[in-house]
Amino acid sequence: MADSKKNDKVNKAPETETPVSFEKEDIFGTLSDMLSELLDMPKDSFRYDTMIFDELPLDSLQLYELVVDLETKFDIRIPDEDIEKITTIGDVVDMIHEAGK
């Protein structure tokens, strides 16, 4: 019993924070993961040119869930004025990519 506890500790991943990537591909991947979870849709349902408000069944609360989660994940701020400029998933990727510069 005592031994297995010890092993658990050793096997535990080191608690270093991996820096988030601001590469467009990676941002798109993270965004697809979040949308897939939020909307319960397969990950490959999303493209760069997917129209967020026209093609996805995203209500206003879900939109803010996505925004708050992106802000936390990438440590950025997304004001409402910027959200109003968004049309496609690619716009969101570009916005986050710019914020990471």
Partner 1 sequence: MDPKENDFAESLLSIFDNVLLTEEMALSKGYFSDLSIAELHTINAIGPYDARTMTETANILGITVGTLTVSVDRLVKKEYVERQRDTKDRRIVRISLTRQGKLAYRMHSKFHRVLAKRIFDPLSDEEKRILTNTISEIDTFVKEQYKKYSNGEQYKKIVRDDTEV
CB of 98 to partner 1, least distance (A): 19
Distances (CA, A) of 45 to 21, 42, 88, 89: 22, 6, 13, 12
Residue in 81, 77, 83 with CA at minimum distance from that of residue 99: 77
CB of 65 or CB of 94, closer to partner 1: 65
Catalytic center residues: 59
Closest CA to 96 of 9, 3, 21: 21
Structure tokens at 100: 């990471």
Site for partner 1 in 62-91 (CB under 8 A): 64-65, 67-69, 71-72, 77, 80
In the complex, least distance from residue 1 CB atom to partner 1, rounded to whole angstroms: 34
The site for partner 1 (CB under 8 A) is made up of 60-61, 64-65, 67-69, 71-72, 77, 80
